[in-house]
């Protein structure tokens, strides 16, 4: 028997009709999908094309930019601009805010076209992550950078695995899988499991001695209750947490013997990494906090590439951690 799975676009059209929404978001998502499919293609064939090397330039965060990072960034920019729906964008790869259709655009898009770059030379999972906010349609737009709470949608493609997860504000978190025709199909609603048996803890254990004492203590007392998994790419690690439950954490580094290596503000970027997974997690029934135990979705960004610590996952674990962080 042939099986005809619902495609992402069919799903989205129905979703927009059910909620009586405009077609603008469809056009925006179509452009994001176009970019993602091409990133997927280049990633899968990158080794053959010699694209896995370093590009020789340095990005805003001072890391080496891989050739594929450049390609992915150009692809996303091209399709976002072509959609005509984007006011301005923030990309992990570019220092400045990228103006697009400033007068006529409707959305702000904050994205990281290739997150988890240490996996690139190995062809292991990376993420294309994005958050979307809407311009002020009621009055003058002041172009301020939006907090996660104001996103209308956020999602991530895990590449080359071929999964796509998208969360809508107050309308759930959904996962799709790429098929042989490069369509994302088979919508599955993601709800974090309550059963702790499957829960996992995910963090870079090489840093554990450098975390705040209260965080180290919690890990020592609790982590053996759960399986430990760490892939080194947020999209991949969070993908697992969203399915199995548990907690992903990238705490602030405050006790490094070489103080220059401390990261009191955390490592992950707020707008296109932490807030994206926090938004998806909320829509799946979970939560996320920063190093002060505050709801991550409430942080108002002061600058596009702001960093934050991140604790995200099943609500009972994140809430327990939040209490510990508030008390430290």
Residue with smaller CB distance to ligand FDP, 27 or 52: 52
Residue with smaller CB distance to ligand FDP, 152 or 235: 235
> How many chain residues are in contact with ligand FDP, going by CB under 6 A?
12
The CA distances from residue 211 to 66, 220, 224, 265, 288, in Å, are: 30, 12, 18, 12, 18
Q: How far apart are CA 45 and CA 32, in angstroms?
A: 20
Residue with smaller CB distance to ligand FDP, 168 or 210: 210
Least distance from ligand FDP to the Cβ atom of residue 112, Å: 8
Q: Which two tokens stand for residue 179?
A: 């098929």
Least distance from ligand FDP to the Cβ atom of residue 161, Å: 14
**Smallest Cα–Cα separation from 183: which of 28, 34, 2?**
34
117 binds ligand FDP (CB under 6 A): yes
Least distance from ligand FDP to the Cβ atom of residue 82, Å: 27
Per the CB < 8 A criterion, the answer to whether 176 and 185 are in contact is yes
Residue with smaller CB distance to ligand FDP, 115 or 290: 115
Least distance from ligand FDP to the Cβ atom of residue 282, Å: 19
What is the DSSP code (8-state) at residue 123? T
Window 212 to 251, contacts with ligand FDP (CB under 6 A): 232-234, 237
Beta strand extents in 79-235 (DSSP E only): 86-91, 98-99, 107-115, 126-134, 151-159, 163-168, 173-178, 184-189, 200-202, 227-228
Residue with smaller CB distance to ligand FDP, 184 or 210: 210
123 binds ligand FDP (CB under 6 A): no
Least distance from ligand FDP to the Cβ atom of residue 237, Å: 6
Least distance from ligand FDP to the Cβ atom of residue 219, Å: 15
Q: How far apart are CA 286 and CA 279, in angstroms?
A: 9
| Residue from the set 118, 188, 205, 292 that interacts with ligand FDP by CB under 6 A | 118
Q: How far apart are CA 54 and CA 50, in angstroms?
A: 10
**Smallest Cα–Cα separation from 249: which of 296, 283, 285, 284?**
296
310 binds ligand FDP (CB under 6 A): no
| Residue from the set 69, 93, 115, 290 that interacts with ligand FDP by CB under 6 A | 115
**Smallest Cα–Cα separation from 320: which of 185, 147, 201, 148?**
201
Residue with smaller CB distance to ligand FDP, 86 or 312: 312
Window 251 to 270, contacts with ligand FDP (CB under 6 A): 267-268
Least distance from ligand FDP to the Cβ atom of residue 244, Å: 17
Window 187 to 216, contacts with ligand FDP (CB under 6 A): 204
Q: How far apart are CA 105 and CA 25, in angstroms?
A: 11
Q: How far apart are CA 135 and CA 290, in angstroms?
A: 26
183 binds ligand FDP (CB under 6 A): no
Sequence-ordered alpha helix ranges (H) in the chain: 8-18, 24-49, 67-83, 213-222, 234-244, 275-283, 315-327
Binding segment for ligand FDP (CB under 6 A), chosen from 103-111, 112-120, 274-282, 288-296, is 112-120
What is the DSSP code (8-state) at residue 140? -
| Residue from the set 273, 283, 290, 291 that interacts with ligand FDP by CB under 6 A | 273
Q: Which residues bind ligand FDP (CB under 6 A)?
A: 115-118, 204, 232-234, 237, 267-268, 273
């Amino acid at each position: 028997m042939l099986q005809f799975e619902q495609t992402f676009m069919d799903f989205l059209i129905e979703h927009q009709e059910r909620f009586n929404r405009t077609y603008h978001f469809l056009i925006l998502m179509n452009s994001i999908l176009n970019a993602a499919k091409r990133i997927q293609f280049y990633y899968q064939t990158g080794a053959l094309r010699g694209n896995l090397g370093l590009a020789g330039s340095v990005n805003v965060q001072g890391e080496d930019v891989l050739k594929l990072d450049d390609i992915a960034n150009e692809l996303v920019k091209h399709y976002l601009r072509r959609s005509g729906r984007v006011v301005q964008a923030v990309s992990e790869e570019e220092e400045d805010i990228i103006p697009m259709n400033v007068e006529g655009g409707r959305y702000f898009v904050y994205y990281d076209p290739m997150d988890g770059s240490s996996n690139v030379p190995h062809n292991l999972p990376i993420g294309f992550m994005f958050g979307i906010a809407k311009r002020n349609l009621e009055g003058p737009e002041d172009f301020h950078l939006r907090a996660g709470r104001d996103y209308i949608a956020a999602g991530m493609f895990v590449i080359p695995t071929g999964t796509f997860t998208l969360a809508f504000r107050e309308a759930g978190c959904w996962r799709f899988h790429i098929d042989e025709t490069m369509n994302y199909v088979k919508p599955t609603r993601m709800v974090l499991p309550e059963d702790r048996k499957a829960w996992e803890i995910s963090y870079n254990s090489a840093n554990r001695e450098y975390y705040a004492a209260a965080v180290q203590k919690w890990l020592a007392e609790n982590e053996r209750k759960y399986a430990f998994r760490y892939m080194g790419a947020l999209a991949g690690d969070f993908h697992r947490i969203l399915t199995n439950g548990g907690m992903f954490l990238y705490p602030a580094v405050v006790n490094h013997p070489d103080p220059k290596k401390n990261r009191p503000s955390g490592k992950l970027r707020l707008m296109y990494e932490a807030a994206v997974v926090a938004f998806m997690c909320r829509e799946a029934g979970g939560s996320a906090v920063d190093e002060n135990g505050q709801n991550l979705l409430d942080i108002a960004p002061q600058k596009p590439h702001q960093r934050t610590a991140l604790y995200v996952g099943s609500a009972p674990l994140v809430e327990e951690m939040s209490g510990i962080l508030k008390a430290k």
